[in-house]
Structure 1
Amino acid sequence: MLSLLLASFGTGAAADDAAQIERGRYLVQIAGCGDCHTPGHFLGQPDMDRFLGGSDVGFEVPGVGVVYGPNLTPDTATGLGGWSADEIVAAIRTRARPDGRGLVPVMPWPNLGTLTDGDAYAIAAYLQSLDPVSNKVPGPIPEGEAAPSFVMRVIPPAG
């Protein structure tokens, strides 16, 4: 009887984990995370085998330089593999990266900062569940230095 009870707890936890990961997948999709974090997206041919593996097109941001959407997969060398769920949630909400560097203004963190705890941790769980993609994106490239690939310019309004 005890083994049946313990087995049911394991099944419930796995179902809860699967539901959380599915919620995270849904949120990543509707937030458009793949747009800035998937190779080929901005060139009209997203490489879905490397979904969320980091962009190959940079953003030129005045006062910052050129930045590339980083690899969000759990690859330890080039992605978020060394980040905890708490660190991923902090980056989503506050721009705070574990290395002290802030996320750039292109990242819609003010909107993402309003996520519930459940939704923010669902995104973290989903990102941690992905297959790792080894893809080191360039940058950041300081202002005035040449970028190694296509770049989109973020131009602030005049005035």
Structure 2
Amino acid sequence: MRQIVWTAFIMGGILMSGLPAVAQTQTQRGEYLVTIMDCTGCHTPGTFLGKPDMQRPLAGSEVGFQIPGLGIFYPPNLTPDAETGLGKWSEDDIIKAVRTGVRPDGRQLVPIMPYHSYGNLTDADAKALARYLKSMKPVRNQVPGPFGPNEKPTAAYLTVVMPQ
């Protein structure tokens, strides 16, 4: 009898622990994914200056990354603002960019965006991520650039300096 009660207790705990994930809406799942994928770590104003502006999460960064030989790139606005963000992108456009690094206009995202890893998202998770980004409050925030390797940037950027 003890074995049956213990087994029921364990199985009940396993089943109950799965309920929150099952009960999540697709948008809640997307918000969770944005959090664990640390999208705000690059795409939120002020983050690289040590003062992330959480009143404008995912609205893009005013500080870019220099990729040797490619140029300087600024993490874009991921909110659904029609002019400065993803407002004109469909959920499928977002999924394609996150998974393959290809924008709707055919341009390739720079490899600092970890689309190689995000290419392993399940269909359900990719859809949830896109749905969440489309559900956010639009924030108008035009980020600088991008700037080619021979262009002069107009905003701060991070670079790698090799020791000499």
TM-score, normalised relative to structure 2: 0.82
Which string of whole-angstrom CA distances, capped at 9 and with x for unpartnered residues, describes residues 126-145 of structure 1? 10010000011111111132
Provide the residue aligned with 1:126 in structure 2: 132
1:87 aligned residue (64, 68, 93): 93
Which string of whole-angstrom CA distances, capped at 9 and with x for unpartnered residues, describes residues 44-82 of structure 1? 100111100000101000121000000000000000000
Provide the residue aligned with 2:29 in structure 1: 23
Structure 2 residue runs of 5 or longer lacking an equivalent are 1-21
Task: Name which one, 1 or 2, has greater alpha-carbon Rg.
Answer: 2
The CA deviation at 1:25 is 0.4
**For residues 63 and 118 of structure 1, what CA distance do their matches in structure 2 show?**
36
**1:122 partner SS:** helix
**For residues 19 and 29 of structure 1, what CA distance do their matches in structure 2 show?**
15
Task: Determine if contact 1:78/1:135 at 8 Å carries over to the other structure.
Answer: yes
**1:111 partner SS:** helix
| Identity %, equivalent residues | 55
CA gap 1:115/1:52 in 2 versus in 1, 3 angstroms:
same
Alignment of 1:89-104 (within 5 A): 89-104=95-110
Task: Determine if contact 1:59/1:154 at 8 Å carries over to the other structure.
Answer: no
**For residues 104 and 161 of structure 2, what CA distance do their matches in structure 1 show?**
29
The CA deviation at 1:99 is 0.9
The CA deviation at 1:154 is 4.4
2:148 aligned residue (131, 142, 151): 142
Structure 1 residue runs of 5 or longer lacking an equivalent are 1-15
Task: Determine if contact 1:40/1:55 at 8 Å carries over to the other structure.
Answer: yes
Provide the residue aligned with 2:47 in structure 1: 41
1:56 aligned residue (58, 62, 68): 62
**For residues 80 and 72 of structure 1, what CA distance do their matches in structure 2 show?**
6
How many pairs were matched up?
142
**2:55 partner SS:** helix
Q: Alpha carbon RMSD of aligned pairs, Å?
A: 1.9
**For residues 97 and 149 of structure 1, what CA distance do their matches in structure 2 show?**
23
**2:117 partner SS:** helix
TM-score, normalised relative to structure 1: 0.84
